[in-house]
Amino acid sequence: MAEHIISLQGVTKEFDTKNGKVVALRDINLNIDKGDSYGIIGLSGAGKSTLVRTINLLEEPTEGKVLFDGNVLTGLKSKALNIHRRKISMIFQQFNLLMQRDAIGNICFPMEIAGVPKAQAIAKAKELLKVVDLEDRAHSYPSQLSGGQKQRVAIARALASDPEVILCDEATSALDPKTTRSILKLLRQINEERGITLVVITHEMEVIKQLCNKVAVIENGEIVERGDVQEIFARPKTKAARKLFFPDGETSEKPVGRTSTKNRIRLVFNEQNAYKPIIARMIMELNAPVNFLYANLDVLGDQQKGQMVICLSEDKATAEKQKAFLAREGVEFIELDDEMEEVTE
Amino acid sequence: MEMQELFSLLGQGTLDSLYMIIICTVVSYIIGLPIGVSLIVTAPGGIRPLGIYNKIVGFIVNILRSVPFLILMIALMPYIRKIIGTGIGKEAATAALIVAAAPFVARLVEQSLLEVDPGVIEAAQAMGASNFQIIRKVLLLEARPSLLNGAAVATINILGYTAMAGIVGAGGLGEIAIRYGLYRFQPSIMWITIVVLVILVQIFQEIGIKVVNKYDNRIN
């Protein structure tokens, strides 16, 4: 079982509030493998922040077990728990740096807690500042740094304890798009080069697309869908996943004006066929037009992924031919039938 | 009154006042700082919630804080006499001052520590810091500017208390003002002591601001 670096087994979390019990997480089972960059996506209030906090026991589950590297963390005494926590770093939306310490001081902090000798800690902190590209800001205080720089310091701090895992709680949500890209790039690099497992909490699909290989979709405290990012992107099964992956596509699944709603399909192009004029050839070969409802090009990790929603011919036989053509060309598609439309209402 | 006599009177009074202020501030912090920290630590949502302790200590602090100092001092006189042998004079007044000032300091410390970003405490917990490490390295250090600011406020408040303690013959500037201004009706001497008191307050305030600015890395 040790290949799972993190394993949540039947984790339930309830909060007592004035208005009675609120269930934040309901029977969560989740395994994260070493080296994964595992995204957990959901709308605000879905329970994703609570979920990530149960991993390092900042939130104690009401029920269920949390395992880290084969060790059961739930029920441990704080001393034993703290030893494990040193191997699970965390970065936050609001950075959470010590305001009264400079960059070097902040990076040294986890090493200080672990009892690393000061000279050694400072030497390592300087090295880590290089990794996050902030060598020249060693003695700047957080109040003198921009948001992106603060998050870089926080990432360096997270690396200081040589962690197995870094939990990223909305790490880029307070940053502008350009800074977000550079932080995601840095995190990806850390995941790939150091083999550090990432658990990425976000409400933004872009973050999942650029950073993660696996994803779980969480809604109302439950994981409703999970798997490879590529797979879910190609074939989202639940409404929640579709909503998150194709926020613009939502409207195109409903009839717009007099647009025909019959024979609508969603196509997903992959690396092999994204650059070929497949639809154009299909129209010419079968001599039957299609109606374009929606199209978009996405980047998943470093792969191009295109998606498109079209209406096939209203004639059943022609539509079947068109589908066969697409299947031959290796284009994945899902049919958006009337039932599905009800689901997306 | 001769000028020289006046100077030596005021000089002695100032020294007596400073003696009481310093002793009282130091001892009040020795008692009040741990109480203030414990109130934060044991509060609901604190790093070591302990509802009963928090409620009881908070209640005692509130009671002591809500009794006006002059009344508290008179009420405490018989008990202080039993413990240290006298109910009046500098020592008795200092003892009463500490009873009044320590809860005040505890609340000031609590307020300062409340300003520490809970996210930073959470980050330290996530790193595996013990509660003791969090208190020492996060709470007290992050709140340092605010704590120093509070110390300046506490000192000035205690200065006000020492002046009131003049009524039980505590010595110091307060007693001079009461003795000459009230009992002997020599308002000029009273006004001079008031000026000295104001100058003292200004000095403490300025020192406080200087120290806070030196230590606050949020302002740059």
Q: What single-letter amino acid sits at B63?
A: I
Out of A90, A112, A141, closest to residue B123 by CB: A90
Q: State the nearest Cα–Cα gap between A158 and chain B, in angstroms.
A: 8
- The number of folded domains in chain A is 2
Q: Are residues A163 and A38 in the same domain?
A: yes
For A8-25, what is the mean pLDDT?
A: 90
Q: State the nearest Cα–Cα gap between A110 and chain B, in angstroms.
A: 6
Q: Are residues A200 and A261 in the same domain?
A: no
**Substitution target from A98, A116, A144, A169 for chain B, most B beta carbons within 10 A:** A98
Asked if residue B195 lies in contact with residue B10, where contact means CB atoms within 8 angstroms, the answer is: no
Q: Are residues A229 and A255 in the same domain?
A: no
Q: What is the pLDDT of residues A32-61, one digit of tens each?
A: 999 999 999 988 888 899 999 999 999 999
Q: Are residues A163 and A277 in the same domain?
A: no
| Long-range contacts, stretch B208-213, CB < 8 angstroms, 24+ apart | B208/B148, B208/B149, B208/B151, B208/B152, B208/B153, B208/B155, B209/B152, B211/B148, B211/B152, B212/B145, B212/B148, B212/B149, B212/B152
| Cβ contact, residue pair A58, B126, below 8 Å | yes
Residue A246 confidence (pLDDT) above 90: no
Residue A345 confidence (pLDDT) above 60: no
Q: A261: domain CATH number?
A: 3.30.70.260
Q: Which residue does chain A place closest to B219, by CA atoms? A: A143
**Confidence band, pLDDT 50/70/90 cuts, at residue B1:** low
Is residue A137 in a domain? Answer: yes
Domain span at A15: 4-236
Size of interface A-B (CB pairs under 8 A): 82
Out of B127, B138, B220, closest to residue A141 by CB: B220
Q: Are residues A209 and A81 in the same domain?
A: yes
| Cβ contact, residue pair B117, A81, below 8 Å | no
Q: Are residues A219 and A340 in the same domain?
A: no
Q: Are residues A201 and A286 in the same domain?
A: no
Q: What is the pLDDT of residues A78-111, one digit of tens each?
A: 999 999 999 999 999 999 999 999 999 999 999 9
Q: B142 and chain A: CB distance < 8 Å anywhere? A: yes
Is residue A241 in a domain? Answer: no
Out of A79, A90, A114, closest to residue B126 by CB: A90
Residue A163 confidence (pLDDT) above 60: yes
> For residue A59, which residues of chain B lie inside 8 Å, CB to CB?
none
The residue among A213, A236, A259 that closes a domain is A236
Is residue A176 in a domain? Answer: yes
Q: What is the pLDDT of residues A250-296, one digit of tens each?
A: 544 454 544 555 778 888 887 777 778 888 888 888 888 888 877 87
The residue among A210, A236, A262 that closes a domain is A236
Q: Are residues A197 and A329 in the same domain?
A: no
Domains, chain B, in order of start with CATH, read 3-215 (1.10.3720.10)
Q: Are residues A231 and A251 in the same domain?
A: no
The residue among A236, A268, A294 that closes a domain is A236
**Confidence band, pLDDT 50/70/90 cuts, at residue B219:** low
**Confidence band, pLDDT 50/70/90 cuts, at residue B41:** very high
Q: State the nearest Cα–Cα gap between B54 and chain A, in angstroms.
A: 20
Task: At B49, list the tokens.
Answer: 């919630």
Degrees, nearest 5: CA angle B202-B204-B209: 95
Q: Are residues A164 and A290 in the same domain?
A: no
Length of chain B as a residue count: 220
> For residue A161, which residues of chain B lie inside 8 Å, CB to CB?
127-128
Q: State the nearest Cα–Cα gap between B215 and chain A, in angstroms.
A: 8
| Cβ contact, residue pair A98, B129, below 8 Å | no
